[in-house]
Structure 1
Amino acid sequence: MSPTSGPGSGSPTTPAAADPATRGPVAFKAACPDCQARFELDAGALRLAIGGSRRTTFYSFTCPECGASVRKPAGERIVELLTGGGVSTLRSI
């Protein structure tokens, strides 16, 4: 999972480090484990769940190619990138 900034820019950036006033829309590169498609998703297409352990911290999305529900683990760096990029976050205790 890596973010890109701006329409069609394709250049990686860290959303949390960029100035929100000058940054364009953030898109995240992702891949589907079912159909092997690679694509970019905007923040609204992703959900982040932060739990009390590594097993309960993950991000999810629906593959735009095959419609599969995808759930992947989210380590600290992924959590930083997704929250910095405006992904909706659910925290559980």
Structure 2
Amino acid sequence: MSVGTAFAGMRRVVEVMFKAACPDCRAGFELTPGALRLAIGASSRTTFYSFTCPACGSAVRKPAGERIVELLTGGGVRTLRLHSTL
């Protein structure tokens, strides 16, 4: 099988980009999945995503509802599941 035949029908994959904004400097930008972290806790108060602002370097943490969790996990963002130690 030739290389051309082996890859016939495959399409180029475009990396997912997420739009975000910094609450400190108010800059708007796009982030790759590798620039974001998602933490899923037992409640909405302990479920959030975080990133470092590329403009000012601030650590940003924002709440993540069900839809945000779905979009981030579907886009390849690394996820940390927080467990209770009861």
> TM-score range, shorter-chain basis?
0.7 to 0.9
Given the alignment of the two structures, is residue 39 of structure 1 paired with residue 24 of structure 2, yes or no?
A: no
TM-score, with structure 2 as normaliser: 0.82
Q: Which has the larger radius of gyration?
A: 2
| Per-residue deviation, residues 14-56 of structure 1 (Å, max 9, x unmatched) | xxxxxxx664100000000000000000000000000001110
Match of 2:38 in 1: 48
State the identity as a percent: 75
For these two proteins, the number of residue pairs brought into alignment is: 73
Given the alignment of the two structures, is residue 28 of structure 1 paired with residue 18 of structure 2, yes or no?
A: yes
Q: Give how far 1:92 is off.
A: 1.2
Match of 1:84 in 2: 74
Q: CA RMSD in A?
A: 1.1
Question: If each structure's strand is expressed as a fraction of its own residues, which one has the higher value?
Answer: 1
Matched residue type, 1:77: R
TM-score, with structure 1 as normaliser: 0.76
Q: Give how far 1:76 is off.
A: 0.2
Structure 2: gaps (5+ residues): 1-10
Given the alignment of the two structures, is residue 70 of structure 1 paired with residue 60 of structure 2, yes or no?
A: yes
Structure 1: gaps (5+ residues): 1-20
CA distance in 1, matches of 2:70, 2:58: 25
CA distance in 2, matches of 1:43, 1:29: 11
